Amino acid sequence: MARRRENTIRNRKNELKKQDFQRKKADKFTIPDVIIACEDSVSSPTYFKMIIQDLMNKRIITYDSFVIANYKHSNPSGVLKDLENHKCDNGKTYKNFDHKWIVIDRDSERVGGGGHTAEDFNNALRAAEKLKVNVAYSNDSFELWYLLHFNYRETAILRDILLTQIIEKLKAKNQSKFSKLDKDTIKQKEYTQLIFNEILELQETAIKNAETLLLSYEDSHNPEKDNPSTTVHKLVKILNSLGKKEEEEQIEE
């Protein structure tokens, strides 16, 4: 009788340990930590929030496990500083997150003013590597990611021409929705949300185009000089994968 009771107690303890392990495993999968610092305060943060909004609504991702760092700088090195300096209400810093990203543009200097120096862009890449921070960069600008939803492009394109092409393609796809879209409004939150929803069905095409573009440079790839190029798709793939781990866990159970 005593031996049977001992076996029952041992089996119960093992079951509790198993349940505790499964709970911790599920917690790890369902509440991944992601922090992103962006070069602008509206368009790119809005775009990335749209990717995980459904996961937030389902509480698979919580507001303290997906964080956009406070925006103070628009130059690449400054964006990295924003990430380093961000402190969450619960005391977490970028070091406490599993996924740490900055989103920056090459945005070559323009004759009339604006843009970033090559030195600043390269310094940001080197410093991010030392800090083990991932970089989603675009040469020349973030809107290249939008363009790759529509077509593959491997020849250099200036920022203004890129914006013009994107606006034309969006209007051709949905004239009523984008009739008032221009180079100023394309950065607004409302239009970023509309753009995300409109081109979501083409996201896999954009990912393949971005991957093919990077591969075309082979080992000689230079993010600062290679226009066009982008690694935004790598961050998009990370964000898309977050909810899939929850689904896999549910299937296993």
If pLDDT is split at 50, 70 and 90, which confidence band does 84 have? very high
User: For residue 16, what pLDDT is reported?
Assistant: 43
User: For residue 60, what pLDDT is reported?
Assistant: 78
Per-residue pLDDT at 117 exceeds 80: yes
pTM: 0.84
Mean pLDDT in residue range 132-155? 97
Mean pLDDT in residue range 48-52? 93
Q: Domain coordinates of the chain in residue numbers?
A: 34-252
Per-residue pLDDT at 246 exceeds 80: no
User: For residue 24, what pLDDT is reported?
Assistant: 44
Task: Please choose, from the candidates 161, 44, 146, the residue with its C-alpha nearest in 3D space to the C-alpha of residue 103.
Answer: 44
Q: Which long-range contacts (CB under 8 A, 24 or more apart) does 164-169 make?
A: none
If pLDDT is split at 50, 70 and 90, which confidence band does 187 have? very high
If pLDDT is split at 50, 70 and 90, which confidence band does 2 have? low
Residues 179, 205: contact at Cβ < 8 Å?
A: no
Phi, psi of 225 (to 5 degrees): -100, -25
Residues 206, 142: contact at Cβ < 8 Å?
A: no
Q: How far does the chain reach from its first CA to its final CA, in angstroms?
A: 34
Residue 77: CB atoms within 10 A of its CB come to 21
The token duo for 225 is 């000089």
User: For residue 233, what pLDDT is reported?
Assistant: 98
Distance of CA 212 to the CA centre of its chain: 19
Average pLDDT over all residues of the chain:
87
User: For residue 115, what pLDDT is reported?
Assistant: 80
Q: What percent of the chain has pLDDT over 90?
A: 70
What residues pair up with 66 in beta bridges, in sequence order? 34
Per-residue pLDDT at 31 exceeds 80: no
More confident residue, 14 or 95: 95
Can you tell me the distance from the alpha carbon of 44 to that of 41, in angstroms, rounded to the nearest whole number?
Answer: 7
